[in-house]
Structure 1
């Protein structure tokens, strides 16, 4: 079977294991069904996720111009503490920013390779955890806007990591932690403005990924350097396809790239 389309992050469904779908403009592929099959990925051209033009992708699926103009790529995306919509202050597009920033947000703990703190919109739970390859996660606070979530994350990352060791995550070099205990310990560091939103009693969410063979050494596929790749799919974790030869392919990193995908 052959498919062609522009890459965007895989859609997911929380199940045991997680179900993955690669969505193209005119079709979608249930990726779990491809485990143990041979896939060929070939880069065809660019397609900016904003303007749709065949322009070299700069970051996050956008060409250079759109990355610095689209509200979806504003600095507050990566740094929630920079959000200003609650003050009625525009960054790039106040209407869009209000739509996103002035919604309930979750500050959470996720364990992918180590326990880390993160922020996501409430509607993105548990999708965000799946995308990070977390095998367990728990909510800490639920706040009414992105700014409060951001300042909470800034305060907590003084006491817990805010990054994932993606290589350890992919090799499944992980250990279970008692996230309830960590959550309760971190309560003392939550800013006063966010403390009323602390979630007193909840339990961990556990996530199982469809992997039959983890890589021993991780080799990352770069479509710019290797525009044609062929390998046997052995698993999916986070937004990564894991192949038999230890190659891993981060689908989300290559958003905006049009590829031919052949399955045999």
Structure 2
């Protein structure tokens, strides 16, 4: 059986375990059903997720020109403290920026390789945690816009990490942490503007990933260097496919790549 389409990040559904789906224009793949099956991934060409042209992907699934023009790739995406829609100030497209920035955002703690602080739109909970491969997470504040979430994250990352070690996460070399205690410990460092939005009473969310075998010596699959790869799928965690030979494939970092996937 063969499927073909442009890669975008896997869609997920929280469950025990989490369910993963690859959605193409004309194909739909329930990735959990491929566990223990032989998979071949073949790189065919590029397709920018914005303009749809066959142009080399630069970052985040976009070609060079689109990456530097469209609001979906502006600096405030990665650095929410740069958000300005609450000031009615445009960066690239004020209408888009108001739509995304002026909605409830969550500042959270997640534990994937270590405890880290992060920001996401409220509608993306728990999807954001799943995408990061976090086995546990907790919300700290719920604020009305992206800017407030951003300045809170900046303040808290002086006292806790803000990056995930993807190798540790994929090897499952992780330890449980008491995130409620972490939340209380960080409360004094929340900016004054965000303190009214502190969440006093909530519990950790625990996430279960469909992994049959964790890798030991990671080998990252690069489709530009290895356009065809074959292996037995042994797990899915974060946005990674994990194969029996310890090869791992980051679906999200290959957005905009058109591939053929065959299953046997």
Q: Structure 1 residue runs of 4+, over 2 Å off?
A: none
- The residue aligned with 2:21 is 21
Mark the runs of 5 or more structure 1 residues left unpaired by the alignment. Answer: none
- Deviations along 1:186-218, one digit per CA (max 9) or x if unpaired, are 000000000000000000000000000000011
Q: How does 1:50-129 map to 2 (within 5 A)?
A: 50-129=50-129
- Deviations along 1:97-147, one digit per CA (max 9) or x if unpaired, are 000000000000000010000000000000000000000000000000000
- The residue aligned with 2:155 is 155
SS of 2:203's partner is coil
Mark the runs of 5 or more structure 2 residues left unpaired by the alignment. Answer: none
RMSD after superposition: 0.3
- The residue aligned with 1:130 is 130
Shift of 1:27: 1.6
Q: How does 1:29-68 map to 2 (within 5 A)?
A: 29-68=29-68
**Aligned partners of 1:245 and 1:24: how far apart in 2?**
27
SS of 1:138's partner is strand
Q: Does 1:182 align with 2:182?
A: yes
- The residue aligned with 1:239 is 239
Shift of 1:169: 0.2
SS of 1:249's partner is strand
**Aligned partners of 2:44 and 2:141: how far apart in 1?**
44
TM-score by length of 1: 1.00
TM-score by length of 2: 1.00
**Aligned partners of 2:124 and 2:38: how far apart in 1?**
31
- Deviations along 1:57-104, one digit per CA (max 9) or x if unpaired, are 000000000000010000000000000000000000000000000000
